[in-house]
């Protein structure tokens, strides 16, 4: 597992953090009248991409009303109104991930290790970005959600809740905990 020794997840975190901040800045520039209520990073099952997602309060409220308050529409970034907006800032991240995967495509153990490292770097990048603008200002609204989401089927409810706990204020943590028993129902 020589590749394991040479891949730098700390450098990846820094790269993701910069892309996340830039994508959020772009979203705010392109939607100045929007009231953002959430920001996330998400990745696919082979950890070859990392992309941003953001949600507007009005869109979220409409989705929740349309789906009888099903909080899956609040906590799942693929349902959000500004999903993948600002993705162009993640091109370098995705190119780096794909190149690393291409070099190690036949090693299942390595791939599992790599995906866990990529997902961890995403959460670490979000945590660091919480202290930076514009995310720091957006977080003054205690209802602002920040999360990371792995491809469907990869994320366990308990793992998702640990991420919510790590990145969000108590109000959101309590709401997510109440929703967990309904996960996948």
pLDDT at position 40 over 90: yes
- Note the pLDDT tens digit of each residue in 49-107: 999 999 999 999 999 999 999 999 999 999 999 999 999 999 999 999 999 999 998 88
Nearest one of 24, 44, 39 to 77, comparing CA atoms: 39
d(CA 120, CA 136): 21
pLDDT at position 138 over 60: yes
pLDDT at position 127 over 90: yes
Angle (CA) 112-123-63 rounded to 5° is 105
pLDDT of 37 reads 97
pLDDT at position 2 over 70: no
Higher pLDDT, 155 or 93: 93
d(CA 60, CA 33): 15
User: Where are the alpha helices (H) located in the chain, listed in sequence order?
Assistant: 2-6, 9-30, 57-66, 72-75, 91-103, 108-129, 135-138, 157-167, 170-179
- pLDDT-derived band at 45 (thresholds 50, 70, 90) equals confident
pLDDT at position 5 over 90: no
Nearest one of 125, 133, 156 to 40, comparing CA atoms: 125
Q: Are 128 and 108 in contact (CB under 8 A)?
A: no
């Amino acid at each position: 597992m020589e590749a394991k020794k040479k891949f730098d997840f700390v450098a990846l975190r820094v790269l993701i953090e910069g892309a996340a901040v830039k994508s959020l800045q772009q979203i705010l520039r392109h939607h100045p009248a929007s009231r953002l209520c959430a920001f996330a990073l998400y990745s696919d099952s082979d950890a070859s991409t990392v992309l941003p997602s953001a949600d507007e309060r009005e869109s979220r409220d409409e989705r929740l009303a349309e789906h009888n308050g099903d909080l899956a529409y609040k906590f799942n970034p693929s349902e959000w109104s500004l999903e993948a907006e600002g993705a162009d800032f993640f091109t370098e991240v995705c190119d780096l991930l794909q190149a690393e995967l291409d070099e190690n495509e036949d090693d299942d153990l390595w791939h599992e290790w790599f995906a866990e490292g990529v997902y961890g770097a995403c959460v670490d990048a979000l945590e660091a970005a919480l202290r930076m603008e514009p995310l720091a200002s957006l977080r003054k609204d205690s209802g602002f959600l920040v999360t990371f989401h792995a491809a469907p089927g990869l994320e366990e409810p308990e793992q998702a809740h640990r991420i919510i706990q790590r990145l969000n204020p108590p109000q959101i943590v309590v709401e997510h905990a109440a929703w967990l028993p309904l996960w996948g129902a």
